[in-house]
Amino acid sequence: MKRNKYFILGISPSDNAETIRSAYKEAVLRFHPDINPAPESTDEFLEIQAAFEVLNDDEKRAAYDKEINSSSIISPLKIENVYSRNVLPPLDEPQIVYTQLNIRCNIDPNNVKAAPLAISFVIDRSTSMQGERMDKVKSSITSFIQQLGKNDIFSVVAFSDRAEVIIPAMRAGSFGIDDERISMISTKGGTELFHGLAAGIEQLETNLAKDCRKHLLLFTDGQTYGDEERCLELAMQAIEKKIVISAFGLGYEWNDKFLDQLSSLTGSNAEFITSSSDLEKFLNEKLITLGLFFSHSVNFDMTSDEGVELNYAFRIRPDSAELEPKRNICLGNVPFSEQLSVIMEFLVPPISGETPMVRLAHGFITLESPYWEVPIRMFVQLDCPVRYNPEVSYPPAEIVQAMSQLVLYRIQEKARIEVDKGNITAAFKRLQYLASHLMSQGNKDLARIVLREAENIQRNKQFSNDGDKKIKYGTRAFLLPEGKKGIVI
């Protein structure tokens, strides 16, 4: 498929000349040979240059539009932004503004053929998994494999202090019912995640898994010691290999912060499995969602006005996860049926009355999809005009709604930090705030759990075994729309 000149600049035929120039400017920043010496980027730059020369000239653009019948062009994605405030007043102090970025897929899933899945199950076989936990993981995985399409690829890796490939990558169709390799996995040793991850990723790189949608599903109940940094490096490599890592934490001893960070890097998240019976439910949900994605690992690479900082980023659709607030973030996955939504909080420095506009972020959303032959690039600009606004303006309901729940997630994070630091009084008060807000927003069950934990930390100076995780994943699930809140604890 030859990319048309609009797609090369990441814009659409309806965009005006100013947007075209902004997009070109951003593209130059990324692909100009002086800035990016990679040979591919030079070719890309020449194409960008050629596209800009045509589209920046009204006459040439009109002729080109006619030639390609521009009104018939459908962009694979629809992107819209919502701001908490449409204009910013000039202030001599910093202020914040929230934006919600919504990305929707324009492609009808019925008209395209899905690439097969390649799934690598990476199972923690440390001694603590022994018994019901391990049995449940084994049976859930086996039933998962049986539900895969016959051309889907899977592999199974078990790890303790080192990794063992139990089943090398193979087609799900060739998996026999009498195959006992999964049920024979025994438990022994400690938890060293790095080896398991590395072996799982290796299984996704075999020839068989080429051109598949690659997923690594990690099952663990413990903390990995000392190899966190190396695991994160592996996750960074996984991004380049288009591998999505999802984690399932069993019980309460696993390190949720670390696994959330690790999986969030690749655009997924970690799930908290309170009881073994939930595992199958979560896995089934996962299987459904895996089949429904237009694209994985959607990236947003942006630049901002000087002094503007991205404080916080959080994905609220299709699943919820905290994102690392950096200039190049992995936003997550775009499903066919639903939108990908990310809330971003920008801190704007003092602005004078002469500034016409604050550029929160200009940049490109980039992604690859098994349903689209060429890599997709879309230009996004988040701008806020500056002026005194005498009119009453209200933040859009969807941002207020999302923030009212997101603020609760952030409050529980603060309470956890306070408990870690031994600041029990502050944490107790904060959990009470949290409980009363949950109560007023109608989440009574979670409110009760929070209140119980508040009493618990006052008595024992720490959370109960799984209290902190219950509150964290409870408030996180609360962000999802009705019916998708998952398993209520």
Partner 1 sequence: MIICPNCNHREFVGALFCSECAAKLISTSRLSSAIPEQVLQEEIRNSIYRNRRVNYVGTGSLVLNKTLNLHVMDSDQFFPLKQNSRVILGRIADNQSQIPDIDLSPFHAYAYGVSRLHAEIRYGDDGIVVIDLSSSNGTRINGQLITPHVEYPLTIGDIITLGKFRIQIVQK
Interface with partner 1, residue 417, by CB under 8 A: no
Stretch that binds partner 1, among 183-191, 244-252, 405-413, 461-469 (CB under 8 A): 405-413
> Which of residues 171 and 414 has its CB atom nearest to partner 1 in the complex?
414
Which residues, 6+ apart, have CB-to-CB distance to 31 below 8 Å? 41, 42, 44, 45, 48
Interface with partner 1, residue 96, by CB under 8 A: yes
Q: Which amino acid is at 329?
A: I
Task: Please select the residue that binds partner 1; options are 39, 392, 442, 483, rule is CB under 8 A.
Answer: 392
Least Å from the CB of residue 82 to partner 1:
13
Q: How far is CA 330 from the centre of its chain?
A: 6
Least Å from the CB of residue 100 to partner 1:
12
DSSP 241-269: TTEEEEEEEESS-S-HHHHHHHHHHTT--
Interface with partner 1, residue 209, by CB under 8 A: no
Residue 303 exposed, middle or buried by CB count within 10 Å (0-12, 13-18, 19+): middle
Stretch that binds partner 1, among 50-58, 159-167, 351-359, 389-397 (CB under 8 A): 389-397
> Which of residues 96 and 170 has its CB atom nearest to partner 1 in the complex?
96
The Cβ-side half-sphere exposure at 423, using a 13 Å CA radius, reads 11
Interface with partner 1, residue 395, by CB under 8 A: yes
Query: How many Cβ atoms sit within 10 Å of the Cβ of residue 16?
Result: 9
Interface with partner 1, residue 458, by CB under 8 A: no
- Reference 222, options 249, 189, 260; nearest CA is 249
Q: How many residues bind partner 1 (CB under 8 A)?
A: 38
Stretch that binds partner 1, among 51-59, 73-81, 243-251, 385-393 (CB under 8 A): 385-393
Tell me the two tokens of residue 440: 């007023």
Stretch that binds partner 1, among 106-114, 246-254, 264-272, 397-405 (CB under 8 A): 397-405
Interface with partner 1, residue 414, by CB under 8 A: yes
Task: Please select the residue that binds partner 1; options are 127, 143, 404, 465, rule is CB under 8 A.
Answer: 404
- Reference 450, options 483, 485, 421, 408; nearest CA is 408
Least Å from the CB of residue 72 to partner 1:
41
> Which of residues 146 and 440 has its CB atom nearest to partner 1 in the complex?
440
Instruction: Pick out residues in 231-270 that bind partner 1 (CB under 8 A).
Output: none
Task: Please select the residue that binds partner 1; options are 93, 229, 306, 482, rule is CB under 8 A.
Answer: 93
> Which of residues 70 and 95 has its CB atom nearest to partner 1 in the complex?
95
Residue 217 exposed, middle or buried by CB count within 10 Å (0-12, 13-18, 19+): buried
Which residues, 6+ apart, have CB-to-CB distance to 353 below 8 Å? 90, 386
Measured between alpha carbons, how far is 423 from 457 in angstroms, rounded to an integer? Answer: 10
Interface with partner 1, residue 33, by CB under 8 A: no
Least Å from the CB of residue 484 to partner 1:
22
Tell me the two tokens of residue 420: 């870690």
Least Å from the CB of residue 357 to partner 1:
16
Task: Please select the residue that binds partner 1; options are 389, 425, 458, 465, rule is CB under 8 A.
Answer: 389
* DSSP bridge partners of 244: 215
Instruction: Pick out residues in 308-347 that bind partner 1 (CB under 8 A).
Output: 347
Query: How many Cβ atoms sit within 10 Å of the Cβ of residue 421?
Result: 10
Q: Are strands 321-323 and 309-317 parallel, antiparallel or unpaired?
A: antiparallel
- Reference 294, options 237, 325, 248, 340; nearest CA is 340
Task: Please select the residue that binds partner 1; options are 201, 408, 427, 431, rule is CB under 8 A.
Answer: 408
One character per residue 425-444, x = contact with partner 1 (rule: CB under 8 A): -----x-xxx-xx-xx----
Query: How many Cβ atoms sit within 10 Å of the Cβ of residue 390?
Result: 6
Least Å from the CB of residue 89 to partner 1:
4
Tell me the two tokens of residue 33: 């040979």
Measured between alpha carbons, how far is 158 from 200 in angstroms, rounded to an integer? Answer: 9
> Which of residues 250 and 358 has its CB atom nearest to partner 1 in the complex?
358
Residues that bind partner 1 (CB under 8 A): 84-85, 88-89, 91-98, 347-348, 388-390, 392, 394-395, 397, 399-400, 403-404, 407-408, 410-411, 414, 430, 432-434, 436-437, 439-440
